[in-house]
Chains A and B, each alone.
Chain A
């Protein structure tokens, strides 16, 4: 959720090597990064510091995992992939190869998943993002129908998502 930005980042790992010139540090071995509700785990994590501190992280793992609470909901988003690139400033995550993202029973799988926590917009591609191919592999999604709350539309505390009518645009 948004509040994570102000929380302190703590990291655990077996070893860490720091490269001040590029302002990056590389953690290896059972790496765990936590910042508020955000938890990132993996075998190797490259952290890039920026003016306001933790700016960008790239984690490798089998699989690397990423977990964060949704803004305004008592739910957690979980991501799994071979490599996850997390942009803390923009609160965006990109999952590469064998990517999988879960929330309650809803789940999406594909070769590449991008997720913008602020707009809650996600995109799943079958192709190999690194090689720039978009087609090729298939993607899957399992959606549990929402139990319609009495009020229509999204929950009362809708996150600052793009206005709902954008979703309606596609529904002629």
Chain B
């Protein structure tokens, strides 16, 4: 599956990041770095940042040749640390060698060694041990019949080693282990597994296994994986992480099949160029189409970060064209005030995603943005930004859509100055040059200049507030005359509003737990005189959903081309249950309705409202306990006595690995779906995974998933069947088979993204 994620870097988040790369999976043990630059790809599975900054190498000081030993305490300098021996018998020659016999125990700095017989040569600082030798260093334990080691350089060998690594307790054996300096081993004819002793379910056998504990990377050459005694995969070269940090560039091949591309095999190669740069190349062989090369280059610097993904499929045998996809994300902070970002996505043809991707976030994309933003932050109270935005529209022949306007450029200036003699003065201004790829009379090219100054007087105390606000919204249009009959026009409309509310509190009990309950009535009056806007084209306006955010806004329409006339009073009542000791809001319930005092005159491709009151709104959200959460919403039309919109969803998640989600969503004449999803242990270490998103309106399965996950502690096996509607009466089914060897590799097609998307709250059982 191509991994062309929809990745959005929000420049507002950009902050001079620490130069460390935030590794994806593990929480950062030290305190989280301040606001890292979050160039966060949505598809974290195989393109998460994986470069790890190697910890400072332990200082290997050479205390100088011929100088007398420094008087500093030897323990400070590892090379000069004393060797402490204990045994049944010791003999030797001064300054020559020391030989110890009988349950010998040797300790030097962080190395501890046990053996039956040991000889240490002082001039060469080399020791030789035999008969059940065991050496421990930094938690790594290596045992064997015979060991030779130069202590200062940590170079030497251990015959027929058996080893266990610190941290993950990965273990294995080999013919011979070469010590190659601090924390680096190479094992010949090695075996490696993360399974605990006694559970020999799988091994990686390698002609040559390099373990580098500083970069925490293991590399196996001429390796094959043996699972339950059966060799299942040979690979000349396999890299895997030695610590729990999931090096997301796991480099084992994954394979699957899909209707339109046939059998496919992807073998990603991860190249950790530098701590802040990495590159993942994923050649992908599609049986019906040919070889596709995917590349994902990511970079993170203190002042800029981003990623560039490029996929290329030369002469697709089915479509007989060269096909490619590009996704460039970049965010940069130039200096204290200036920052910018790029979000450029392009594909070679409209069906690119439908044919080559099973990732939901791709197949549902119809407009690929190509935009650059430059913004200036003027000390927090004002800001300026310039943006150029174009789209590539991927037409579905079955359902062609109107292409959106390109904004080339869009300049915005916003400011909000508070406490100017008790008032707040705000300004939003914008200049946009709208360019229609396919201009029509109703949708011509045009330039729009808007300026909307406003002044408000916030009067508040601890239990009540009243905020009158008045502003003048001025807009001027200059249109392309030979495209449309609409004249150039200006629209000036005053907007007057008074927002007021009170807060009552009391102590209350709910499910025998003490809470602070609030009761918050709110009244919002809005007066906007009617302005004829029938001669104004519609560049970016639309009808906003009716919800608790919208009922308190100044305009029923979004965008800047329609300003709804208004003489209305919006009323709402909110109550919250707040945990007194933490201040956490556990339950919130709200009801609201709007009362209109005159007819609606400004409309936008919908009939005017002919009722005196708006729909009735109710909403409830509750996080009663750590396991139970519940959300419900209801929009009722009192005039026609019917429900316009309703939604109910609940989640029960007592612990990781157990979750049940249920939800019902209804929107009159457009949507009626139930959605059930669960991950629940069935028996022993098998857990069931299921999801059903069923549209009652079209009585079809919109999305379905069924699977089981068997976890045996150090490995897990997943079988997942997934079905998703891709077009009218069309759906794509795919089967995922995946064997995950903990900490090493995942074989087969990777369902983890699909699982996370389908079962919210899903956690891997072998985590």
Contact = CB atoms under 8 A, between A and B. Distances in A.
8 contacts: A105-B82, A120-B95, A124-B91, A126-B87, A141-B90, A144-B83, A168-B121, A172-B148
B79 A120 contact: no
A122 B91 contact: yes
A78 to B, nearest CB: 13
B98 A170 contact: no
A152 B88 contact: no
B125 A148 contact: yes
Nearest to B130: A172
Interface in B123-138: 123-126, 128
Contact of A170 (B82, B119, B151): B119
Interface in B45-78: 63-69, 74
A7 interface: no
Contact of A155 (B83, B86, B95, B98): B95
Given A138-B86, A146-B125, 8 more contacts: A134-B88, A138-B88, A139-B86, A141-B90, A142-B85, A145-B152, A170-B97, A170-B99
A143 interface: yes
B120 A143 contact: yes
B100 interface: yes
Interface in B94-131: 94-100, 102, 119-126, 128
A150 interface: yes
A113 B74 CA distance: 26
Contacts of A164: 96, 123
B80 interface: yes
Nearest to A110: B90
Contacts of B668: none
Given A145-B83, A148-B123, A125 B67 contact: no
Contacts of A51: none
A123 interface: yes
B119 A148 contact: no
A141 B98 contact: yes
B93 interface: yes
Contacts of A162: 93
A92 interface: no
B494 interface: no
A167 B119 CA distance: 9
A120 B94 contact: yes
B96 to A, nearest CB: 4
B88 A135 contact: yes
A137 to B, nearest CB: 8
A147 B69 contact: yes
A153 B97 CA distance: 11
Contacts of A124: 89-91
A168 B92 CA distance: 11
Interface in A118-134: 119-126, 134
Contacts, number: 130
B84 interface: yes
B80 A145 contact: yes
A144 B74 contact: yes
A154 B148 CA distance: 21
B300 to A, nearest CB: 43
A70 B94 contact: yes
Contact of B95 (A135, A140, A146, A150): A146
Contact of A139 (B68, B90, B148): B90
Contacts of A125: 89
Interface of B: 63-69, 74, 79-100, 102, 119-126, 128, 148, 151-152
B65 A148 contact: yes
Contacts of A154: 95-96, 123
B97 A141 contact: no
B719 to A, nearest CB: 54
B121 A126 contact: no
B89 A123 contact: yes
A161 B90 contact: no
B79 A145 contact: yes
B128 A170 contact: yes
A46 interface: no
A171 interface: yes
Nearest to B84: A142
Given A145-B122, A150-B66, A103 B94 contact: yes
A170 B96 CA distance: 12
Nearest to B117: A170
Interface in A59-86: 70, 77
Contacts of A110: 90
A3 B560 CA distance: 108
Given A148-B125, A167-B96, A170-B119, A123 B83 contact: no
B91 A142 contact: no
Nearest to B99: A170
Interface string A72-108: 0000010000000000000000000000000101101
Contacts of B99: 170
Nearest to A137: B88
Of B94, B97, B98, B121, most buried by chain A (CB within 10 Å of CB) is B94
Of B74, B121, B152, most buried by chain A (CB within 10 Å of CB) is B121
A167 B93 CA distance: 8
Q: Sort A-B residue pairs by CB-CB distance and give the 7 closest, nearest first.
A: A167-B97, A123-B91, A120-B94, A141-B85, A124-B90, A170-B119, A167-B96
